[in-house]
Homo-oligomer: A and B are copies of this chain.
């Protein structure tokens, strides 16, 4: 019941009959110590139950032993999968994983503080909402290559980044709808200013041009990845003179809201209108109707980001290897129940 005092390295040294230096070396650089001594030391470590004090090691080695994951909204289930991947990717490493929610706070300042406090060695950023000047400051401090963006990224900067193949996803969706006979295809976008919004919409439009499909301004419907924005979009569509026969949504959540709204408005999905999402969140397969969508492996994005950052942290300061800046994780079309052949034209 009483607080037992922790074992220090000198206790191990005493138990093994060697100096602290030898114990330390046995732990960090085993091959330089004599086989017999090594065994003695390991035995002493085992019998004393020694564990190295991280604060001391970190202070001496001038490192933090931790990385930070900045999440725009921890409550959003989308990110939890990425987080799980990151956590798994660092499980074997001796870096701890810190999290911070940027919600409503100045992301740049937070990151700057964590770094300058010596609390973190690196950063995985799921939030591209950092101001350019903050980034410049970070890069100027020479820590630019210990930052990895995941899912989102910032155009025109040299930071490492892991993302899914957004363009490929949009292409898959459009080709598939086209193959089903759809010509009038609308797009429900993400929030304004978001890089994913931009890229997915641009790819969708490029593909529409390539397939020589008709375009109407009102068929690009502004959303924000949320359920509510999908429901709002449904109302807009219901009110249109020229309704699309299919909608490609930039997110599953938006697609869910859209479907709910359309059905409430009296349309049948997919008989009257097809809907396709993006993400493939867990519920997509169980929604009614189940959702055809572009699957991005969020867990793998997280794992890959962890891998990338670890590689950058491990090489300490040996200059080379600024390659491998961008990793694209493949996407997959998940065929389900929310899409079907285009209805016969009413015109």
Interface residues of A (CB under 8 A from B): 1-4, 6, 49, 51-56, 58-59, 64-66, 73-77, 79-81, 83-84, 87-88, 91, 96-101, 103, 105, 113-114, 116-119, 139-142, 227, 231, 256-257, 259-260, 263, 282-283, 286-288, 299
Contacts and interface: CB of A to CB of B under 8 A. Distances in A.
A56 B59 contact: yes
B80 A116 contact: no
B84 A101 contact: yes
Given A257-B286, A299-B75, A99 B101 contact: no
What number of copies of this chain does the assembly contain?
2
Nearest to A87: B101
Nearest to A68: B96
17 contacts: A1-B142, A6-B118, A52-B117, A55-B58, A55-B59, A55-B64, A59-B59, A74-B81, A75-B80, A75-B84, A75-B299, A91-B101, A97-B98, A227-B286, A257-B286, A259-B288, A260-B288
Residue picked from A49, A88, A101, most chain B C-beta under 10 Å = A101
A293 to B, nearest CB: 15
A203 to B, nearest CB: 27
Contacts of A56: 59
A139 B1 CA distance: 7
A interface secondary structure, majority: mixed
A262 to B, nearest CB: 11
A141 B98 CA distance: 25
Contact of A53 (B80, B118, B141, B288): B118
A142 B80 CA distance: 33
A97 B114 CA distance: 12
Contacts of A91: 101, 105
A256 B286 contact: yes
A52 B117 CA distance: 6
B99 A83 contact: yes
Contact of A77 (B54, B80, B105, B114): B80
Contact of A87 (B51, B100, B142, B257): B100
Nearest to A2: B142
A257 B6 CA distance: 50
Contacts of A114: 96
A225 to B, nearest CB: 12
Contacts of A119: 54, 65, 96
Contacts of A58: 55
B116 A101 contact: no
A1 B142 CA distance: 6
A87 B1 CA distance: 31
Nearest to A88: B101
A295 B73 CA distance: 21
Contacts of A53: 59, 117-118
Nearest to A100: B87
A75 B2 CA distance: 38
